[in-house]
Amino acid sequence: MKAHLITYGCQMNEYDTHLVQSQLVSFGAQIVDSVDEADFVLINTCAVRGKPVDKVRSVLGTLRKLKAERPLVIGMMGCLAQLEEGQQIARKFEVDVLLGPGSLLDIGKALESNERFWGLQFKDELHDHIPPPPQGKLQAHLTIMRGCDHHCTYCIVPTTRGPQVSRHPDQILRELEMQLAAGVQEVTLLGQNVNAYGVDGGAKLAGYPSFANLLRMVGQSGVRRIKFTTSHPMNFTEDVAAAMAETPAVCEFVHLPVQSGSNRVLRRMAREYTREEYLHHIANIRKHIPNAVLATDIIVGFPGETEADFEDTLSLYDEVGYDSAYMFAYSARPGTPSYKHFEDLPRELKVERLTRLIAKQKDWSARKNAAHVGSIQEVLLRGDAFSEGFLEGHTRGNHPTVVPKVLGITGAGVHRVRINQATPHMMYGNLIDANGENLPEVPRFAPEAAALVSPLQMA
Contact 21, 15 (CB under 8 A): no
136: DSSP letter: T
Choices 141-149, 263-271, 329-337, 352-360; region in contact with ligand 5AD by CB under 6 A:
329-337
Contacts of 338 (CB under 8 A, 6+ apart): 153, 154, 268, 269, 302, 303, 330, 332
Contacts of 65 (CB under 8 A, 6+ apart): none
CA of 255: how far to CAs of 192, 209, 251, in Å?
A: 12, 21, 11
Does the protein bind ligand 5AD through residue 297 (CB under 6 A)?
A: yes
Closest approach, Cβ 255 to ligand SF4, in A, equals 13
CA 42 – CA 1 distance, rounded (Å): 13
Pick out residues in 43-72 that bind ligand 5AD (CB under 6 A): 48-49
Residue nearest ligand 5AD, Cβ-based: 297
Pairing of strands 293-300, 253-255: parallel
Give me the 189-218 binding string for ligand SF4, x by CB under 6 A, dash otherwise.
Answer: ------------------------------
SS3 403: strand
CB atoms within 10 A of CB 297: 14
Q: Is 251 annotated as a binding residue?
A: no
What does 330 bind: ligand SF4, ligand 5AD, none (CB cut-off 5 to 8 Å by kind)? ligand 5AD
Q: Is 148 annotated as a binding residue?
A: yes
Contacts of 71 (CB under 8 A, 6+ apart): 39
CA of 264: how far to CAs of 47, 82, 273, 407, in Å?
A: 26, 32, 11, 57
Choices 32-40, 323-331, 366-374, 432-440; region in contact with ligand 5AD by CB under 6 A:
323-331
Contact 373, 417 (CB under 8 A): no
Contacts of 367 (CB under 8 A, 6+ apart): 321
What does 372 bind: ligand SF4, ligand 5AD, none (CB cut-off 5 to 8 Å by kind)? none
What does 13 bind: ligand SF4, ligand 5AD, none (CB cut-off 5 to 8 Å by kind)? ligand SF4
What does 427 bind: ligand 5AD, ligand SF4, none (CB cut-off 5 to 8 Å by kind)? none
Closest approach, Cβ 328 to ligand SF4, in A, equals 11
CB atoms within 10 A of CB 351: 13
Q: Is 10 annotated as a binding residue?
A: yes
Does the protein bind ligand SF4 through residue 12 (CB under 6 A)?
A: yes
Choices 10-18, 248-256, 272-280, 321-329; region in contact with ligand SF4 by CB under 6 A:
10-18
Nearer to ligand 5AD, 49 or 353 (CB): 49
Contact 72, 39 (CB under 8 A): yes
Does the protein bind ligand 5AD through residue 155 (CB under 6 A)?
A: yes
Q: For residue 104, give the nearest of 86, 84, 121 by alpha carbon.
A: 121
- Which of 257, 303, 393, 404 is in the footprint of ligand 5AD by CB under 6 A? 257
Contact 53, 333 (CB under 8 A): no
What does 257 bind: ligand SF4, ligand 5AD, none (CB cut-off 5 to 8 Å by kind)? ligand 5AD
Closest approach, Cβ 83 to ligand SF4, in A, equals 10
Pick out residues in 69-98 that bind ligand SF4 (CB under 6 A): 78-79
Residue ranges for the known binding site are 10, 46, 79, 148, 152, 155
Q: Which residues bind ligand 5AD (CB under 6 A)?
A: 48-49, 154-155, 257, 259, 297, 299, 328, 330-331, 333
Q: Which residues bind ligand SF4 (CB under 6 A)?
A: 9-10, 12-13, 46-48, 78-79, 157, 160-161
